[in-house]
Amino acid sequence: MTPRPNFLMTMTVLLILSGCAAEVTRTQPMVAVVPHDADPLGETEWGIIDPQPQLSAAEPLKKDSNQPALAVSLQKDAEAIDVKRKVIYSGSRSVKKVALTFDDGPDKVYTQKILDILQENKVKATFFVLGAHAEKYPEMVKRMAKEGHVVGNHSWDHANLTKLSGDELIDEVERADRTIEKLTGSYPALFRAPYGEVSKELFDVVEKTPNRSVIGWSVDTRDWEKVSADKILATVKKETKPGAILLEHCAGGKGGDLSNTIQALPKIIAYLKSEGYSFVTVPELLNPT
């Protein structure tokens, strides 16, 4: 049976893309973890889904074109990969600059400690905050902005936005936008999707704001998983390259504990400085002056 033309086209796209996915697979094992807590606003952990395309060269493509749903399914996969390619995962690899990012805050414990460490080390970072947490701890968001950090939108309450549509999806993005703008005086130009999960519909909503960038990450410290501070540092040492965007958290975490992040952060800063890296915010990383 002759495969349909759109099936062939999709196969070609997938095979081309599989090269870069294989690169990713070597350094970042695919992990799909769902949120562990039904209470999205609790001081609890968030799951992370690897933001990169979920395909690798080792993953054989099914060739049974007798399945009518297969071509449609592959077409959807191709669209999903296309959308993920619009996410920015790092800056220029030619300059030794990195951006520290902290998600899911603010909270009343760890955000403050992280801000203190950043202040002591004269490092500017980027915080992707939840609108609901920003509303709960407004002083923390004001402090971020006042101390020169960039505040981006991480949705209202960490819903998986690929499962939402219409007004629900718009509300998740724009309600957080409005809260952040009220607290910082600036409409957030950066957006990071919960779990790194994006869709075409999400981009349609996010891109209603001109010049908005959707930001992923290139180094996942997995700090929310309660790995040790030494393991976090080892991941940073192994995976950080010029232009890296490092993912850490300033709220949530397993059992609400991010003491590993607090212990690791000064060591991360000291190590990367000793390696000749400078720390910039995500906008500075992407638009060097």
Binding site for Zn ion (CB under 5 A): 46, 103-104, 194
DSSP letter, residue 147: T
Compute the distance between CA of residue 222 and CA of residue 230 in angstroms, rounded to an integer: 12
Q: Minimum distance between the CB of residue 128 and Zn ion, rounded to whole angstroms?
A: 7
Is residue 289 within 8 Å of residue 108, measured between CB atoms?
A: no
DSSP letter, residue 195: G
| Degrees to nearest 5, angle at CA 193 with 175 and 213 | 85
Find the catalytic residue in 77, 103, 104, 107.
103
Burial class for 283, CB neighbours closer than 10 Å (0-12, 13-18, 19+): middle
Backbone dihedral angles phi then psi of residue 138, each to the nearest 5 degrees = -65, -30
In sequence order, the β-bridge partners of residue 215 are 88
Task: Choose between 77 and 104: whose C-beta lies nearer to Zn ion.
Answer: 104
DSSP three-state, residue 107: coil
Query: Is-catalytic flag, 103?
Result: yes
Find the catalytic residue in 149, 154, 158, 249.
249
Is residue 247 within 8 Å of residue 98, measured between CB atoms?
A: no
Task: Choose between 55 and 141: whose C-beta lies nearer to Zn ion.
Answer: 141
Give the residue at shortest CB distance from Zn ion: 103
Q: Minimum distance between the CB of residue 254 and Zn ion, rounded to whole angstroms?
A: 14
Q: Minimum distance between the CB of residue 104 and Zn ion, rounded to whole angstroms?
A: 4
Q: Minimum distance between the CB of residue 64 and Zn ion, rounded to whole angstroms?
A: 38
Query: Is-catalytic flag, 39?
Result: no
Task: Choose between 77 and 107: whose C-beta lies nearer to Zn ion.
Answer: 107
Task: Choose between 103 and 174: whose C-beta lies nearer to Zn ion.
Answer: 103
Task: Tell me the catalytic residues.
Answer: 103, 249
